[in-house]
Amino acid sequence: MLNKKGFIALPILIGVLVVLGIIGAAGFAIYRNNSATTTNNIAPAPADISPSPNKSPILGETSVSFTKTDSKILFKTEINLSLPIIYYGFPDPDKSKRDQRRNIVTVYNEDDGFDPVGIPNIDPGKYQWTALVSNSLQNPKVYPDASVSDSLFSYQVSPTKDNILFVMDWNRSYTEWGPNFGTPHLLPDSGYKIYLYSLTDPNKGLQIIPPMIFGNYAIPKIEAFDDSGRYAVIDLFRCWGCGEHVPYRMLLDTKTLQSKNIGEVIEFKWRDNGAYEYKEVVAGSENCPEDGQCIEDPNKSPLKTGQF
């Protein structure tokens, strides 16, 4: 049996539960409504508006190859141009004077490696050529007025006929012409690169020599191998055809691809097993070629020796 307090407490308890139920239902309704509103108002993911990568049309290709004759090794460069916005030669504002050829083939003799000159009146089709390297001509933003003058810049065959060391001048650019002059801009893959190709080890194939740069001396010319064919001399010039100056001399071990800078030297000579002798250049006022570098008389410089 319930007493009076029980009868009084029961209605109060029921009332409290009803109120709590109403508050809970209202809160749930508000929460659901807010959740629905938030969900419905979420902005859709933005569309991808980043620009698509620039396509780089292939304007052509330059390739280098070689062939063995009975007594010599010949080299060949071939430039093929496929699109009309590029022409062969150095930039020229006068379009009527530009080279109109679309296929340019040049053959070089093994003995002319320091400053190559093409062989005239030779038929490349008479020989079987082996590819050394090729490089496509690209123009990422389709610049007009592009030109190419790639060339085999220097090369040497080792005395043992094991290796070919050569330098390519990948020279491709586009030009912005003003009223009085043009401003050239290099295209991708331009610059000097040194390559080593093994004639006896097919596993080595073609190797790229790490760039050789010393200050503003960065134009490489291959001077000579030693008698063993392992070591080579590479001269670095500030510029080419711009006046006489003594280059920095780099030594290269073709087996390890390590190089060594021995500075400005004259009367360099290889000895045995990577040993060498030389004289250092001393600045002076006695020997001053026109538009060139003044140095002391080499006879006054002591002979030094070194070891790679």
The residue among 299 and 113 whose pLDDT is bigger is 113
Q: What rounded mean pLDDT belongs to the chain?
A: 80
Q: What is the pLDDT of residues 98-125, one digit of tens each?
A: 999 999 999 999 888 888 989 999 999 9
The DSSP code sequence of 229-282 is SSEEEEEEESSSSSSB-PPEEEEEETTT--EEEEEEEEEEEE-STTEEEEEE--
**pLDDT confidence bin for 184, thresholds 50/70/90:** confident
146 pLDDT above the threshold of 70: yes
Mean pLDDT of the region 127-155: 91
Mean pLDDT calculated for residue range 91-96: 88
Mean pLDDT of 7-29: 44
- SS3 of residue 164 by DSSP: strand
Name the token pair of 262: 């021995």
Amino acid identity, position 206: L
Residue-range domain boundaries for the chain: 54-209, 212-308
Does the pLDDT value for residue 126 go beyond 90?
yes
- Interatomic CA distance for residues 81 and 136, integer angstroms: 10
Query: Which structure tokens are listed for 100?
Result: 């109109």
Exposure pattern of 96-120 as b/e (b: 16+ CB <10 Å)? eebeeeeebbbbbbbeebeebebee
pLDDT of residue 250: 95
